[in-house]
Structure formats: C-alpha cells, structure tokens
A and B are shown apart, each in its own frame.
Chain A
Amino acid sequence: MIERKLLFTGATGAGKTTAIAAISETKMVRTDVPNSDPTVSKALTTVGLDYGEITLDNGEKFRLFGTPGQQRFAFTWPILSRGAIGLIILIDNSAADPLADIVTYARGFQPLIESAACVVGVGRLETHVRPSLDDHSRTLASVGLLCPIIPVDVRQKADVLLLIDILLTQLENKR
C-alpha cells in the first residue's frame, strides 16, 4: 500500500520544523522545548517528531514528518521511512561539520533514497559559503549516492516548494 507521507531530516537546527510549518495547513503539533544542549545555540528544539498535514483535492490527507534530528534517535529512521514517497535532507552549512552531516543522513536513509527519491537543501550559505555545494556533491558521490543538491532558506515557502518539486520530478522519471 502506498502511504501518503514525506520525510524531512537533518541535524538539530537544520530547519525541519521551519520547513514543515511553511507548508502545513494544520497548526504544527509543537513538540519544541527549551534546548538544554549547550553546544547548540538554539532556544527551542524538537523532541520527538514534527508533524504537519495537507489535504489533497480528493479529501485525502498527505502527511509531513520531521524526523528527530539527534543521532541518538537514528533507530526510528527505518520505521519512519516505511512507505514514505521520499526524503528531504536539510543541511545547516554553519554547523561544525556539514559534510559529516550529509554523510550521516545519506547513509542513515540509504534504503529510502535508493527505493524512492531524495533531495538535499543546504541552508545558511549566505553566511557560510564553505563547504560549497560542489563539496557536498563530491561527498555524496563518495558514498555512492547521487541526489539533487540546492541552496535553500526554508523560511521561504518557495524554497520548500522547490525541494518538493524536484523530489516529484525524480519520482515521475524513475523507471
């Protein structure tokens, strides 16, 4: 059975909550709490899942999930992947090691990426130009994956829509 859901993943602060909120029609189920991790300068962080919904023209609900960002929740990734139409990986280019992040999520979701589709959005490029998008592309290729990689600011709804557009284009063109 095909499920009607899409996954967003990425490290803490990459913008998963922001991206889902940009397109969800239901008020986000807020699970953000004050952040207690001193290494991340961020007031709120999501505990558990982000969840949003949009209603299709036949009345069906399409669900948007943000995976828990912290790697200690990696055990949930295969469960969440089941039946998803695809994956959007968000990278915060101002993080300590963005290239390590892209490898973490590309490897962690490899089965979904290979069986469905994936697109990578890299944020905060305006202030952090390195690593470049080409560096990200080479890194993905080095783990044997090829996904579209584009610059984004997920506070802009148009950028979130572009990510979904690219994901759908891939699905439509797969064998």
Chain B
Amino acid sequence: MEFLTFITCNVSPRDDLLLRSMIRLLNGQSKRHWRPTDHGHADLCFQGAANPNDTSESALAVVAKHRVSLVSGTPGANEIALPLHVGNVLTTLNRVADALAASALNADAPQRAPTPAARAQVEFALVRWPDWSLLQQDSQFLRLATVLASRSADKQGLADRSGVSLECCQRFLTALAKEGLVRAALSEAEPPAPEVGGSPIVKLVAENAESAQASLWSRLRRRLGIGQPTPEARAA
C-alpha cells in the first residue's frame, strides 16, 4: 500500500511519543496509511514550540509539503490543539491527505477550507465481536468490548462509560485496531436532547419510564449480586 510520511520538529518528547503512537493506532482508520520518517522530506510536519531557538539544525532542514502547528489555544487553520486528542489527530491526517490529493490533481488549487466534518468528533465503532483470545489479554477487555458493542465512543467516552482507565482503553483500542476490528466513525457534537412531545406531562412520563428501566436493571444486579452499574447508569 502506498503511504504518506510525517515528521515532527521541535515537539516535546512526550507529544512526539503521543503523536507516533496515535498515528500508529489510527492507521487503518485514517484515509491513508502514515509512517514516520526521520530524514528531511515528509508529506506532513508537526511543528511544535518546544525549543523556539532551534533555528539551525534539522528543524529548518525539514522540507514538508504541509505543516501543522501544535498550539495551546484554540487552533486555527493548519493548527492542532494541545493536549493532543486522537480524534483531532485523525481529522488532521485526513484533511492533509485530502489536501495532498487535491494539490496533486491541481497544483494551483488553493488549500481547501476545513470541511464541517473536521469539527465533528471521531468515535470508534466495533466492526464485529472480538475473538475470545483478544478479550483475555486484560481483565477489563470484556467489559470494554461490551460497552463499545452497544454504542460507538471516543477513547475518553469509552473510559467514562466503562469506568476503566484511559490507558487501558488505549491498549484495548490498539489491540482492536491491530485486528482490523475497529473503525472510526464521525459523529457531530451531540445535539441537545430533543424535546419529548411538548407537554410537561408527556416529558414526565418518558422520564419516569426511563428511570423505571434503570432502576429495574440495578435491582436485578443487586438481587443477582453482579457488579456495579456503570457510572452513567448510577448517575441516572
């Protein structure tokens, strides 16, 4: 498969490591395959400000078709926000891949404006249920797979809903990605909950049905002595 290359310049060792591992994880979900390169030519350079006085050496020697700067405020065009978020990295990789493809078609074309999709959140969805051997790699993987099977989520969302640590979620997503069992899905930022009917009575009935269900589930758990409800269910 043909791949694109990326390089980092003046990026802190921590962010450098994060970028590399996120991009490795995202290969398979991103539109194109990306590989790190250490010599001066790359399709994409992630430009940090870890060492602003670094003007002479490798930093300036990098010839990249695209540069994306790591910034700590609200990111503008060709910028990505710190702390790095896997969803933003995926969006950036895909935007640059699109731009590279477009400029290959028409060398004079202006850089494309970010699409609305660039503002959407990237979530991971299970392609199918993972093999038992994968689920046994960690005592939390069965729970994570169950949560992800019921609804796609980004890494943070998966951690929040499962009550499992971010590090473990990362290992789980990486293991899935290796097997081609996860795909990235774009979801627009969650819209406000739709008004149920209009009348307060209808709303109240809907809310009551929902909480009756949740309380049935937790009664069952208590009666059968099976685990704790998820943080979300507890909050309900």
Interface residues of A (CB under 8 A from B): 2, 4, 23, 54-58, 60, 62, 85, 117, 132-134, 137-138, 140-141, 146-151, 161-162, 164-166, 168-175
Contacts and interface: CB of A to CB of B under 8 A. Distances in A.
Contacts of B233: 172
A4 B216 contact: yes
B229 A54 contact: no
Given A137-B130, A173-B161, A85 B216 contact: yes
The list of the 10 closest CB pairs from A to B, nearest first, reads A141-B128, A172-B233, A134-B131, A170-B150, A137-B129, A173-B150, A56-B219, A165-B226, A169-B146, A133-B132
Contacts of B161: 173
Interface of B: 126-132, 142-143, 145-147, 149-151, 161, 209, 212-214, 216-217, 219-227, 229-230, 232-233
If over half of B's interface residues share one DSSP class (helix, strand or loop), that class is named, otherwise mixed; here it is helix
Contacts of B225: 161
Contact of A148 (B146, B221, B223): B146
B129 A146 contact: yes
A170 B161 CA distance: 11
Contact of A146 (B128, B209, B219, B227): B128
A147 B149 contact: yes
Nearest to B153: A173
B224 A23 contact: yes
Contact of A2 (B131, B142, B216, B220): B216
